Amino acid sequence: MKTIYLDNNATTQVDPAVFEAMKPYFTELYGNPSSMHRFGGQVGVKLKEARASVANLLGCAPEEIIFTSCGSESDNTAIRSALAARPERRHIITTAVEHPAILSLCKFLEKRDGYEVTYLGTDDRGRLDLDEYKAAIRPDTAIVSIMWANNETGNIHPIEEMAKIAKEHDVFFHTDAVQAVGKVDIDLSKVPVDMLSLSGHKLHGPKGVGALFVRKRLPFRPYLIGGHQERSRRAGTENTTGIIALGKACELAREHMKEENTEVKRLRDKLETGLLKAIPDTKLNGDPEHRLPNTTNISFGYVEGEAILLMIDQMGIAASSGSACTSGSLEPSHVLRAMGVPFTFAHGSIRFSLSRFNTEEEIDFVIETLPPIIKNLRKLSPFSADKKAPACTKSFSE
């Protein structure tokens, strides 16, 4: 059975051209770029090219790019660097809908190191409130960390405006742009963020490589201490194959940016409209006006997400869910809960995230396959639109 892969916000296929670009650096050109000999030195040249390619995609200078092992490392490095650079500041601002890489770190810093953290809420579409944000900034705010785009809903946050506000208050601004890089235009010559995280495997590069943009002259404290690699900002022998692949992936992302925002978006819209039309009691989660072009998050009322995922898995369709059963805990997705999505819909939410490798036929197949599956699961369910569900003793907000 062919897999119809609609889980590209989880990870993406390595573009064959990216794989070709990295291959020789495993077996033939395996030198260490720090070595004095030409054998290693020639790899160093390729790293330089890769750095320029990443910078080119982001609209920044190559020296502002630090290669890391993943998005989470970039996030951890950014936050810890800001805190170490201004130790007298003890307050952090982030959002309730961040990726665990930020959220768990903030919870940890709160609990273990006594930092104060403000978690900005959202409205029912997952939109942040700029007034709430402005009011949260304090003289002792060390850093603001707000994701460029949300992984579950695809919502794009007003990063440019928020970064400007932080700048006015002399507060460092970091953005986790792992989901945004490669999908939407990012121009750091115009958007005044201080630090930005990205990850290779979300844009058709391999897993195990990421990058952190750190604006010139921003005080920086390294997280990994050791050798002089990355201008002593991130120790450890360079992941040469990964970095070269990331460079190629960024180059391709630039080339495909238009396609991402026209063709991928068209297929996403077709899928979304098709499903919402064909299946009653469905609801779109997120902000349709400010969204990644590849993501749609749809709730199917009165059915549970894991059951949907396993049913469509039988048909070769790969997607993900914000249901409790798949979130690794007993509660549904923290993003949907922060948005106040009613329980009737939160448990049955499915995220479809596309890429340039999806085809029209695949989307047509999904639009055809989903309705009978939902219908069958609803037949199993004791709840329906006319048979209102009894309330639970639940205390968290609806």
As measured in angstroms, the least distance from the Cβ of 292 to another protein is 25
Look up tokens 């050109």; give the residue: 29
**Residue 314 engages another protein in binding (rule: CB under 8 A):** yes
**Residue 391 engages another protein in binding (rule: CB under 8 A):** yes
- Of 84, 94, 147, the closest CA to residue 117 belongs to 94
Residue type, 131: D
Hey, which residues between 154 and 173 contact another protein (CB under 8 A)?
none
Residue closer to another protein, measured from CB, 85 or 325 = 325
Is 392 marked active-site? no
As measured in angstroms, the least distance from the Cβ of 373 to another protein is 11
Contact mark string toward another protein, 253..292, x via CB under 8 A: ----------------------------------------
**Residue 1 engages another protein in binding (rule: CB under 8 A):** no
Near another protein by CB under 8 A: residue from 217, 255, 392, 397: 392
**Residue 307 engages another protein in binding (rule: CB under 8 A):** yes
As measured in angstroms, the least distance from the Cβ of 85 to another protein is 33
CA geometry: angle 337, 341, 345, nearest 5 deg: 115
**Structure tokens of 176?**
């986790």
Distance from C-alpha of 51 to C-alpha of 39, rounded to nearest angstrom: 20
**Residue 10 engages another protein in binding (rule: CB under 8 A):** no
As measured in angstroms, the least distance from the Cβ of 377 to another protein is 8
Catalytic residue from among 60, 70, 325, 392: 325
**Residue 5 engages another protein in binding (rule: CB under 8 A):** no
CA of residue 60 relative to chain centroid, distance: 20
**Residue 389 engages another protein in binding (rule: CB under 8 A):** yes
**Residue 396 engages another protein in binding (rule: CB under 8 A):** yes
Near another protein by CB under 8 A: residue from 331, 365, 369, 371: 331
**Residue 302 engages another protein in binding (rule: CB under 8 A):** yes
- Of 158, 147, 174, the closest CA to residue 334 belongs to 147
**Residue 306 engages another protein in binding (rule: CB under 8 A):** yes
Near another protein by CB under 8 A: residue from 88, 190, 382, 386: 382
As measured in angstroms, the least distance from the Cβ of 312 to another protein is 12
Near another protein by CB under 8 A: residue from 62, 284, 325, 340: 325
Residue closer to another protein, measured from CB, 130 or 380 = 380
**Residue 34 engages another protein in binding (rule: CB under 8 A):** no
Active-site annotation, residues: 325
Q: Which residues bind another protein (CB under 8 A)?
A: 302-307, 310-311, 314, 323-325, 329-332, 343-344, 347, 379-383, 389-396
